[in-house]
Amino acid sequence: YKKAMLIEEQLVKDHPDIMEYASSLSSSYNDLAAALSDDKGKTDEAIEFYQKCIEIKEKLVKEQPDITEYAISLAKSFYNLGNTLARLRETDKAIESFQKCIEIKEQLVKEQPDITAYAINLSDPYHNLAIQLIYLGQRDKAIELFSKAIPIKERLLIDHPNVRKYALQLLYSYNALSRQLIAIGKTGLAINTINKAIAIGEQRVKDHPDVLDYVVNLSSSYDNMVAALRYDGKTDEAIGFYKKAI
């Protein structure tokens, strides 16, 4: 990566008006940052390259607002940076990155509502931003974001029922949302959400008993149901789900 970047950096320096060179350099920065972020000892360096990448992409978007690919790429880099910052527990900075990602993606949806891929790509930033907001105690905002992410994920699973990733992502969001609803005493809504998670989870475990992630998510759903029922004073019902969880 670094040898290629030296060449690309020189090209950008020698030909600052050729956008393709700048775009290629920003992509190299992003790819190197992604590789570095997988190495726990090099996350600071990864963040540095994400920031360099974003600086170029922001300039490209400003100078060429009609080239949608630049905006899409910028949003992706903000998302990647947000995930890296989140792993470092840099919550405020992660939130800022996710918010910038969402702002770009929502604008794309507003401008081109017929392109469903733009709306679909909002589900993960919504979910990840919600998780960060929970750490700051902002449950209401987190619930709002989970509630935006879930319909997108439900549609994805309906359209692609055999894609494991979509099923797991939906289950993650159901379980995360239900925990926050229980925490603020909205157990009726929580139980409704948990029942959806259990219905999908039980079917997935039945069809794919060797997939541990399905088992783990189903167990989490049972635990959430126990918590909701105990909150409502329904101890006997809670015991039944507790036995399923273990």
Q: How much is the average pLDDT of 34-39? A: 86
Separation CA 95–CA 27 (nearest Å): 23
Q: How much is the average pLDDT of 143-159? A: 96
* pLDDT for the residue 1: 64
* pLDDT for the residue 245: 84
Range with lowest mean pLDDT among 46-55, 58-67, 202-211, 237-246: 237-246
Two tokens at 62? 């400003």
* pLDDT for the residue 214: 97
Q: How much is the average pLDDT of 46-74? A: 94
CA atoms within 13 A on the CB side of 78: 24
Separation CA 78–CA 58 (nearest Å): 11
Q: How much is the average pLDDT of 164-181? A: 97
**Residue 38's pLDDT band (cuts 50, 70, 90):** confident
What global pTM score does this model have? Answer: 0.91
Residue 146 has pLDDT above 90, yes or no: yes
Q: How much is the average pLDDT of 159-179? A: 96
Residue 137 has pLDDT above 90, yes or no: yes
Plot region of 41 (φ>0 → left; ψ -120 to 50 → alpha; else → beta): alpha
pLDDT in tens, 182-219: 999 999 999 999 999 999 999 999 999 999 999 999 99
Separation CA 20–CA 70 (nearest Å): 11
Beta strands in 60-135 (DSSP E): none
All residues at 6 or more sequence positions from 141 whose CB lies less than 8 Å from its CB, including other chains? 130, 133
54 exposure class (CB count in 10 Å sphere: 0-12, 13-18, 19+): buried
Residue 116 has pLDDT above 90, yes or no: no
- For the beta carbon of residue 239, count every other beta carbon within 10 angstroms: 13
Two tokens at 89? 């527990």
pLDDT in tens, 98-115: 999 999 999 999 999 988
